[in-house]
Amino acid sequence: MTAYDTLIPINIVTGFLGSGKTTLLARLLRSPALRDTAVLINEFGEVGLDHHLIEHAEESVLLMDSGCLCCAIRGDLQGALRSLFSQRTRGEIPPFRRVAIETSGLADPTPIAYTILAEPVLQHHFRLGNVVTVIDAVNGAAQLERHPESVKQAAIADRFVLTKTAMVDDGGRVVRAAVREINAAAPVFDIDADPLNPDALLTDDLYATGGKRREVAGWLDGFAAASGDGHDHDHSHGVGSFCLRFDGPMDWTAFGLWMSMLLNRHGERVLRVKGMVNVAGVADPVLINGVQHIVHPPTHMTGWPDGDRRSRIVFIVQDMDRAEIESSLNAFNALAA
């Protein structure tokens, strides 16, 4: 079995039509830290990308018999990523150490994540890195109210990048509030106001040895900045996030039974789960990370942040009740007592 942290990370850069994905990518790729990045793009926009490793993939989705929409292998990506890896192995292209995929504006990023995690060949060479969602301050808030694709892109984001904030009177306050209501766990960056830090956007993630502590701190800070634990919502999309805290240790077997059962029944509405679990009998926190029906292999972090050993699990859900989820997990955990 390949150690998960030795696999080549793939970042998904997504965002609605015209949000500025290519502009962001072009700026990021100028950084020396991202020089060894291969880029896959689904559509050529008006902004040209001047980079030495660019492949183009037509979108094609291979739906599985089960009809589970999030669990579809993206045939285009399967072919493009296999081809890239094969060329890399043969020395025909430079030995890239990261891949960035720029999705089309209407793409649901979940099948991309599924392809990376479940495709029998790719899963031994690649892993999913951060999903970066670009939101345009001029149109973003309205798009989040009207377009389910945009909500989905926001719900599974690990990072938000706001664009065009200088073009709105409020400096992006409204769009920032709109994305925080959907997903309070993802740090928000303003492409015009904040320094563009490739580490903070792309390379700090749950599987990066040096970055996982900052990654977890980012989730917790997000909820502290929102309202502490997230909050109820009354938007048409019905998507919101909350952070559950559990004082006592979790039994890993009971937790696995509960989570797998929850995702089997409600995976289409559990858009994202990530957390730090105090597993009974294990000294360090076990980190979990899931996108709809798809769950990454768990990993660990050395030591507990701030000495606080409570489990903290972030849920981004659509039309689901926080109290029901919390009491259900407590009931399952009690089975092991």
Partner 1 sequence: MCSLCGVLGGRGHWTESSSSPEAFASRREEVTRRRERQERIRLANRILGHYGLKLTDFSGGSYVLSTHTGRSKIVDNITEVWIAAEDLTGRGCDPLDPALLAGLAAR
Angle between helices 252-266 and 322-335 (to 10 degrees): 140
Q: How far apart are CB 76 and partner 1 at their closest, in Å?
A: 17
Q: Total number of residues binding partner 1 (CB under 8 A)? A: 59
Q: Would you give the DSSP letter of residue 250?
A: B
Q: Does 36 bind partner 1 (CB under 8 A)?
A: no
Q: Does 225 bind partner 1 (CB under 8 A)?
A: no
Q: Does 265 bind partner 1 (CB under 8 A)?
A: yes
- For partner 1, the closer CB: 99 or 287: 287
Amino acid at 68: C
> How far is the C-alpha of 130 from the C-alpha of 208, rounded, in Å?
11
> How far is the C-alpha of 140 from the C-alpha of 163, rounded, in Å?
9
Q: How far apart are CB 312 and partner 1 at their closest, in Å?
A: 16
Angle between helices 75-89 and 110-118 (to 10 degrees): 50
- Select the span of 88-96, 129-137, 220-228, 249-257 touching partner 1 (CB under 8 A): 249-257
- Select the span of 34-42, 223-231, 236-244, 285-293 touching partner 1 (CB under 8 A): 285-293
For residue 236, give every residue at least 6 positions away whose Cβ sits within 8 Å of its Cβ, in sequence order, or none: 145
Q: Does 304 bind partner 1 (CB under 8 A)?
A: no
Q: Does 210 bind partner 1 (CB under 8 A)?
A: no
Q: Contacting partner 1 (CB under 8 A), which of 101, 175, 263, 316?
A: 263
> How far is the C-alpha of 39 from the C-alpha of 321, rounded, in Å?
39
> How far is the C-alpha of 181 from the C-alpha of 123, rounded, in Å?
33
> How far is the C-alpha of 176 from the C-alpha of 197, rounded, in Å?
19
Contacting residues toward partner 1, per CB under 8 A: 1, 3-5, 64-66, 68, 70-73, 114, 117-120, 123, 252-254, 256-267, 279, 281-284, 286-287, 292-300, 321, 324-325, 327-328, 331-332, 334-336
